[in-house]
Amino acid sequence: MLCPYCGHAEDKVVDSRSSDNNRAIRRRRECLRCGKRFTTYEHIEDMGLLVIKSDGRREAFDRGKMLSGLVKACNKRPVGMEVLESIVDDIERILHKTFDKEVSSNEIGELVMSHLQQLDEVAYVRFASVYRQFKDINQFVSELRELLDKPAKGAKKKSGIH
């Protein structure tokens, strides 16, 4: 394992524990050269799920792409990386339970949006604007109206755009 800070190939494992309902192992490592710590995850490699893109292409499911999209949507929002990794774990678990070999990118996008809507409305709208490829401000406003019309978590309906 190469240290992400200095590139040295030797490290020691400081802590190991189960993660993702015993489907992965989280390891805290310390570089033997620079002394910095970093985390690695070991996941079971199974026959991967293929994602059917909107143009019909198929590519291997990549949890890193999903995490990257979540990180961008939650940029400068009060959402920690552990929460985002937990969302990715949950969606990946749902996908493997629900789909045998292939899943459409639309299914994945809707799952991500569902999780973001419950987590952070700003991140949800950011993700939706890219995922749904809003062509103009009217589509954006329409999405905001839908969001505002849904009952907030334990609160009354919010007012705003009408």
Could you list the beta-strand ranges (E) of the chain.
11-19, 24-31, 37-43, 50-52, 58-60, 102-104
What pLDDT does 30 receive? 97
Q: Which residues have CB under 8 Å from 109's CB, separation 6+?
A: 131
pTM as predicted: 0.59
Q: Which of 62-71, 119-128, 129-138 has the highest mean pLDDT?
A: 62-71
pLDDT of residue 161: 40
Instruction: Pick the range with the lowest mean pLDDT from 2-11, 36-45, 126-135, 143-152.
Output: 143-152
Cα–chain center distance at 19: 16
> Which one, of 66, 69, 27, lies nearest residue 49 by Cα?
66
What is the rounded distance in angstroms from the CA atom of residue 26 to the CA atom of residue 59? 27
**pLDDT for 79-90, tens place per residue?**
999 999 999 999
How does pLDDT run across 15-38, given as a tens digit for each residue?
Answer: 999 887 777 899 999 999 999 999
